[in-house]
Amino acid sequence: MQPLAERMRPLTLDNYIGQKHLVGPGAVLRKMLESGHVNSFILWGPPGVGKTTLASIIARKLEVPFFTLSAVTSGVKDVRDIIEKARSSRFFNQNNPILFIDEIHRFSKSQQDSLLGAVEQGVVTLIGATTENPSFEVIRPLLSRCQVYTLKPLEEDDLMQLAHYTVEHDIELSKRVFHFTETGALLRYSAGDARKLLNILELVYESAPKDGDIEIKDEIVANCLQQNPLAYDKDGEMHYDIISAFIKSIRGSDPDAAIYWLARMIEGGEDPAFIARRLVISASEDIGLANPNALLLANAAFDAVMKIGWPEGRIPLAEATIYLATSPKSNSAYMAINDALQNVQETGNQPVPLHLRNAPTSLMKDLGYSKGYKYAHDYEGNFVLQQFLPDELKGQQFWQPQNNVAEDRLRAQMEKCWGKDKYEKK
């Protein structure tokens, strides 16, 4: 017998649960279907939210040939063979055959290129499905010919609607009576994924006594699963979303959120070295001169993780995370180097002033190299006014001290050297 997830795959939009923003009354895909014509598009969303199901419903509704390819197992030859089959199966005044490509983000550039002609000429209507951001994974010419629709994780109400519908209508599960006494674990472990929900129901059904009612409780669900199947793909979109949330929580001075996202990465099996590297970057980019000790602590945490290993390495990572999140913030060093790099790109190789040049030979000295250079330590306060930038950039300011205790002290020191006008508060 087919797995429960396959048995419960809906055949019409009326039985399709979730994604109301796309298939609800008046929504874009429903209106497209009602018009009897669809254009090529890409469905982007996490696993188990109905991408494949939606594509097959559309093909069934339009009554057109439906061809499928998996990017994991198909090559350029397979694509061309399918296109030829689609070309020969098309009839006059009929909608284009639909070519559904699952995990289209795994197609190479040459494989994606092989689709362009067929899509442009209307040989096929392409429906792609991807869990990755199409703007990163799909070539621009193909992306420009496809609308992108984003599918969302199923809401808790959607999941419970699916659960009740399944136990009432599935050919096997409907033979028993289900009682949803507790749903916390069921919903938590499903994590917005319809396939996970159905897999859990099937596990509970198969592990239950062979007669009597079946009760859904948190403890029963947890025992069936043994461990929490967290949604975390170290090579996928979730990886980048969570590290982004982690860094932004540190930048936003929220230690509780930062430590939560750290826990998500640890529990998901993220490489500790990757986390440690991002802490070092954050210490320089977001804390910077407001608290220079942050870089020292982040680097020390990196060293500690490499030395002591796992799982103890989670402790210095947590210490550094909380320290960075609670530190004052400044990106003045980050902004300074970006501004300087942009200036270099715009102004090119400006000559080094003669007095700053090295003069290891008599010829260089005769040419004026190093002439007039003033050695700072020979002057009171170890400072003397002189020009250090190229002539064309004289007076240019790249570093803008920000308003925090540490940089206020640095600003005061610079004002003492260069005068109040140069580094006054903005």
**Portion of the chain with pLDDT greater than 90, in percent:** 31
Angle between helices 76-89 and 109-121 (to 10 degrees): 10
For the chain, how big is the Rg over CA atoms in Å? 31
Closest CA to 34 of 52, 9, 10, 61: 61
Give domain limits for the chain.
19-150, 156-225, 237-326, 352-418
pLDDT one-digit tens code per residue, 222-250: 888 764 445 444 545 566 778 888 999 99
The hierarchical CATH code for the domain 156-225 is 1.10.8.60
pLDDT tens digits, one per residue of 17-45: 999 999 998 899 999 888 888 889 999 98
Task: Report the percentage of the chain scoring pLDDT > 70.
Answer: 94
* C-alpha dihedral sign at 246, 253, 331, 345: positive
The reported pLDDT for the residue numbered 231 is: 47
Q: State mean pLDDT over 419-425.
A: 70
pLDDT at 1 over 80: no
pLDDT of residue 238: 60
Q: Which two tokens stand for residue 183?
A: 């749903």
| Structure confidence at residue 78 as a pLDDT band (50, 70, 90) | confident
- Over residues 419-423, mean pLDDT: 73
Q: Which positions ≥6 away from 103 have C-beta within 8 Å?
A: 70, 71, 72, 129, 130, 131
Task: Write down the pLDDT at residue 423.
Answer: 66
What is the reported pLDDT for 232? 46
Residue 333 has pLDDT above 80, yes or no: yes
Tell which CATH architecture fits domain 19-150: 3-Layer(aba) Sandwich (3.40)
What is the structure's pLDDT at 156? Answer: 92
pLDDT of residue 239: 64
The pLDDT, as a whole number, for residue 360 is 80
CATH of domain 237-326: 1.20.272.10
The confidence score (pLDDT) of residue 426 equals 56
Looking at per-residue confidence, does 115 or 319 come out higher?
319
State pLDDT tens for residues 81-122: 888 888 887 665 577 888 899 888 888 888 888 888 888 888
The residue among 147, 78, 87, 144 whose CA lies nearest residue 107 is 78
Check pLDDT > 70 for residue 204.
yes
Mean pLDDT of 177-192: 89
Higher pLDDT, 301 or 387: 301
pLDDT at 228: 45
Q: How confident is the model at residue 424 (pLDDT cuts 50, 70, 90)?
A: low
Q: Is 107 in contact with 101 (CB distance < 8 Å)?
A: yes
